[in-house]
A and B are shown apart, each in its own frame.
Chain A
Amino acid sequence: MNTLLKLCIGLVGLIVLYGLAAPMVFFVADLVRHPGALRVEMVAARFNESHVKLVVTVYYNGSVELKDVKLTVLERDIYFGDLIKGSEVSKVITLPISALKEIGKEMSVSFSVVGLYPVELKIRSGTQ
């Protein structure tokens, strides 16, 4: 193959690879440097005798866009859409009072980093 052509392919390839790898590297670096860059907060308030109103807020302060953010709590999916730096999105769900104890035990967050890298995080507490 012509050396110049190979050099051009190499250069273009390196630029494309950098473009592909950079969002994931920045995302991991953001989370490592500031573990609070992606934060989920839940506040419960009594709704009626049997149910509570749960306000779930997701805060995101990372440098790359997160797409299709979804939180699964007690087998219920809560969609937050796309998040960019400084995003703060709240959703309200109602739950039976008895389910409150189970909330912190297991939940999962899924999203994709700039729509290219699907990520799934399962948070377990109380178990090792």
Chain B
Amino acid sequence: MIPPKIKEVIKAITEGVLIGLLYYVVYILILPKLLAGIFGELKIVFPISLRTYLIALYLFVGLGTATSLLKNHPLSLPLKLLSKVLGALLVLAILNFGILQGTIPVMGVQIDFRIDISVLLYAILLFSMLMFP
């Protein structure tokens, strides 16, 4: 028989890991693919290294777990905010702060493009911060 206190801790850790994974999947896996899909014809690639993927995973899961474990502690609110701000900064860094750049050949001419979609990116992040736990 597992004591109820340990059960609570295990539940909090599981919840934190799941929330961290949810952030990871939405921000690191889905959002860059979604943006690359919108601008599909421009063949935009966000160069994310394996190391960045791992750092993002540790960060989101770690902060998610800490927030969940300290749910009833006064530290939980700043930790939650910190987790969201760090997550947003990481996403912005991965997406080059919303600056899309590249070169496309059109009718024998090379066109270098630079598109600033930071407004849209900030709106997506703000929206997700309000909506996600």
Q: Identify the A interface with B (CB < 8 A).
A: 6, 9-10, 13-14, 16-17, 20-21, 24-25, 28, 32, 35, 116-125, 127-128
Contacts and interface: CB of A to CB of B under 8 A. Distances in A.
Contact of B110 (A117, A119, A127): A127
Interface string B17-33: 00000000000000000
Nearest to B112: A122
**Chain B residues touching A, majority SS:** mixed
Contacts of B124: 17
Given A24-B120, A28-B42, A116-B119, A121 B110 contact: no
Interface string B92-125: 0000000000000011111111111101100110
B109 A20 contact: no
Nearest to B108: A125
Contacts of B108: 125
16 contacts: A9-B130, A13-B127, A13-B131, A16-B123, A16-B127, A28-B39, A32-B41, A118-B115, A119-B116, A120-B113, A120-B115, A122-B113, A123-B111, A124-B112, A125-B110, A128-B110
B130 A13 contact: yes
B119 A20 contact: yes
Contacts of A123: 109-111
B41 A121 contact: no
Contacts of B42: 28
A22 to B, nearest CB: 10
Contacts of B38: 21, 24-25, 28
Contacts of A28: 38-39, 41-42
B41 A119 contact: no
A35 B106 contact: yes
A9 B126 CA distance: 11
Given A28-B38, A117-B120, A122 B127 contact: no
Nearest to B101: A120
Given A21-B120, A123-B111, A124-B111, 17 more contacts: A9-B130, A10-B131, A13-B131, A24-B38, A24-B120, A28-B42, A32-B41, A35-B107, A116-B119, A119-B116, A120-B113, A121-B111, A124-B109, A124-B112, A125-B109, A125-B110, A128-B110
